[in-house]
Amino acid sequence: MNNRIKKIENNVQDKNSAAWKKLCDYIDRVAEDGSEEFSPANELGYELFSQIYTLPETISKLKKVKKVSLYGSKLKRIPPEIGQMESLENFVPYTSYSLHWFPYEITECKNLKDSTVSTRALYGNYKNRMSFPDLSQNPVRYSGETVNCSVCRKKMTYDETNQLWISLWVGTDVLPLLANICSEHCKNALPKPPENYIQKAHKGSSTLPQPPDENESFELQIKEYEREQNTINNP
Mapped onto helix, strand or coil, the DSSP state of residue 105 is helix
Q: Please count the residues of the chain.
A: 235
Q: What is the reported pLDDT for 48?
A: 97
Domains of the chain by residue range:
18-226
Q: How far apart are CA 53 and CA 50, in angstroms?
A: 8
Residue type, 103: P
Q: How far is CA 73 from the centre of its chain?
A: 14
Q: How many CB atoms lie within 10 A of CB 166?
A: 25
The CA angle 107-97-15, to the nearest 5 degrees, is: 80
Is pLDDT at 1 greater than 60 in this prediction?
no
Query: Would you say residue 73 has pLDDT above 90?
Result: yes
The torsion region of residue 114 among left (phi > 0), alpha (psi -120 to 50) and beta comes to beta
For residue 91, the model assigns a pLDDT of 98
What one-letter code names the amino acid at 188?
Answer: N
The stretches of the chain forming alpha helices (DSSP H) are 18-33, 40-44, 46-49, 184-188, 214-233
Q: What is the largest CA-CA distance in the chain?
A: 74
**233 vs 67 pLDDT, higher one:** 67
Task: Judge whether residue 18 has pLDDT over 60.
Answer: yes
pLDDT tens, residue by residue, 123-182: 999 999 999 999 998 899 998 899 999 999 999 999 999 999 999 999 999 999 999 999
pLDDT digits (tens, 9 = 90+) for 178-208: 999 999 999 999 999 999 999 999 999 989 9
In sequence order, what are the beta bridge partners of 37?
67
Nearest to 163, CA basis, from 204, 198, 197, 194: 204
Question: How confident is the model over 46-61, as pLDDT tens digits?
Answer: 999 999 999 999 999 9
